[in-house]
């Protein structure tokens, strides 16, 4: 059984529509796929409608959170949330707030670039990005304008966290996020917690503290983790009795990783979905 629990569509910063992600997942030989757009559930309905026969969909989201950095300062952390009730009002309000933060932040970055003379039109970037605007949308605008040769090149310099054009946003404090997901009947998994290529890491001691709030698992197999990171996280998960997942974090043409490049073991998947009560897994 091939299970990929982390993908993005045009509902956030992927390049395939939710339906295209479902068809691509089936074509890639997956039996289970999760759709986990950033801070939105807006792709869920189209994904359910497009579900090919034999493919199971785990409805999810990747939530923008503020964790405690190894140096004690806040650090951006992503929390995967699965099978929660989208109608839970407190959680729905928080998603809306996060999307407003995304829009304001991306506008701020685009305006800084425009003020600096770069050929970027903030209104056009925001219009193309939609309600869950992310840096990959600005990266594509920079590529289209010929400022950089690739999305990767844009992230290496102009879009870099802490770089010249970087603007911060107010993400959900990580313990609050874990509690909100649990209160909505969902199960949460820390996304790529050792992805040091994205900037400095969260304090690993915070992971143990999050277990007390209801954290369900950690993403271990991921393209931003090395072998040592995976070993470290497997040990931590065993100590804390957390579910271990592996996923592609597919973004269509915005990243080079392919669907199913990293996968989750069936026993871990079963444990994960058994812990959720918000919505069901849907099978086509
Ligand atoms: P944001 O959500 O706006 O902070 O932007 C971060 C998003 O950009 C995440 O989804 C990352 O997966 C993606 N990202 C980070 N680095 C790169 C890169 N080098 N190439 C493509 N996407 C990236
Ligand atoms: Zn993304
Ligand atoms: Fe992420
Ligand atoms: Fe992601």
C-alpha pair distances (Å), 270 with each of 19, 43, 61, 213, 248: 25, 24, 19, 21, 19
Residue to probe by mutation, ligand 1, list 134, 136, 138, 162, most atoms within 8 Å of CB: 136
Q: Which atom of ligand 1 is nearest to the CA of 13?
A: 10
- If DSSP states are collapsed to H, E and C, what string results for 62-101? EEEEEEEECCCCEEEEEEEEECCCCCCHHHHHHHHHHHHH
Task: Report CA 199 to chain centroid distance, whole Å.
Answer: 16
Specify the residue with its C-alpha closest to ligand 1, atom 16.
155
**How much distance in Å is there from the Cα of 249 to the middle of ligand 2?**
8
pLDDT for the residue numbered 132: 97
Which ligand gives the minimal distance to the CA of 77?
A: 3
Q: Go through 226-251 and write b for each residue having 16 or more CB atoms within 10 A of its CB, e for each that does not.
A: eeebbebbeebbeeeebbbbbbbbbb
Closest CA to 244 of 222, 213, 224: 222
Q: Indicate the SS3 state at residue 102.
A: helix
**Cα within 13 Å of Cα(28), Cβ side:** 23
What residues flank ligand 1, with Cβ below 6 Å? Answer: 13, 38, 134-136, 151-152, 155, 254-255
pTM of the model: 0.97
pLDDT for the residue numbered 200: 85
pLDDT for the residue numbered 62: 98
**How much distance in Å is there from the Cα of 20 to the middle of ligand 3?**
20
pLDDT for the residue numbered 284: 93
Q: Indicate the SS3 state at residue 188.
A: strand
Contact criterion met (CB below 8 Å) for 64 and 119: no
Kind and range of the H or E run holding 176:
helix 174-183
CA torsion, ordered 174, 175, 177, 183, to nearest 10 deg: 170
Q: Which domains does the chain possess?
A: 3-96+169-283 (3.20.20.140), 103-156 (no CATH)
**How much distance in Å is there from the Cα of 54 to the middle of ligand 1?**
31
pLDDT for the residue numbered 259: 98
**How much distance in Å is there from the Cα of 4 to the middle of ligand 1?**
19
pLDDT for the residue numbered 198: 72
**Cα within 13 Å of Cα(276), Cβ side:** 28
Contact criterion met (CB below 8 Å) for 64 and 103: no
pLDDT for the residue numbered 255: 87
Closest CA to 257 of 221, 204, 219: 221
Specify the residue with its C-alpha closest to ligand 1, atom 5.
135
Question: ∠ CA(157), CA(204), CA(190), 5° rounding?
Answer: 75
Residue to probe by mutation, ligand 1, list 103, 134, 150, 253, most atoms within 8 Å of CB: 134
pLDDT in tens, the chain (284 residues): 999 999 999 999 999 999 999 999 999 999 999 999 999 999 999 999 999 999 999 999 999 999 999 888 999 999 999 999 999 999 999 999 999 999 999 999 999 999 999 999 999 999 999 999 999 999 999 999 999 999 999 999 999 999 999 999 999 999 999 999 999 999 999 999 999 877 789 999 999 999 999 999 999 999 999 999 999 999 999 999 999 999 999 999 988 899 999 999 999 999 999 999 999 999 99
Closest CA to 43 of 64, 26, 20, 77: 20
């Amino acid at each position: 059984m091939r299970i990929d629990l982390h993908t993005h569509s045009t509902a956030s910063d992927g390049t395939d529509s939710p339906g295209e992600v479902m068809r691509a997942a089936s074509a890639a030989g997956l039996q289970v796929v999760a759709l986990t757009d950033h801070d939105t559930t807006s792709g869920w309905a189209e994904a359910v409608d497009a579900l090919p026969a034999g493919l199971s969909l785990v409805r999810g989201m990747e939530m923008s959170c503020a964790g405690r950095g190894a140096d004690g300062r806040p650090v951006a952390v992503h929390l995967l949330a699965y099978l929660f009730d989208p109608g839970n009002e407190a959680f729905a309000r928080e998603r809306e707030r996060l999307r407003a933060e995304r829009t304001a932040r991306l506008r701020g970055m685009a305006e800084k670039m425009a003020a600096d003379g770069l050929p970027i039109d903030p209104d056009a970037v925001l219009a193309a990005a939609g309600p869950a605007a992310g840096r990959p949308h600005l990266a594509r605008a920079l590529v289209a304008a010929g400022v950089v040769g690739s999305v990767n090149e844009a992230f290496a310099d102009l879009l870099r966290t802490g770089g010249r054009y970087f603007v911060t946003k107010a993400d959900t404090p990580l313990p609050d996020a874990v509690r909100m997901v649990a209160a909505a009947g969902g199960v949460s998994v820390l996304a790529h917690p050792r992805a040091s290529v994205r900037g400095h890491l969260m304090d690993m001691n915070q992971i143990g503290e999050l277990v007390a709030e209801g954290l369900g698992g950690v993403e271990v197999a991921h393209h931003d983790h090395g072998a040592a990171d995976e070993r470290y996280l497997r040990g931590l998960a065993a100590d804390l009795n957390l579910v271990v997942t592996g996923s592609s974090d597919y973004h269509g043409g915005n990243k080079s990783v392919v669907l199913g490049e990293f996968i989750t073991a069936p026993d871990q998947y079963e444990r994960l979905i058994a812990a959720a009560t918000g919505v069901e897994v849907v099978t086509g």
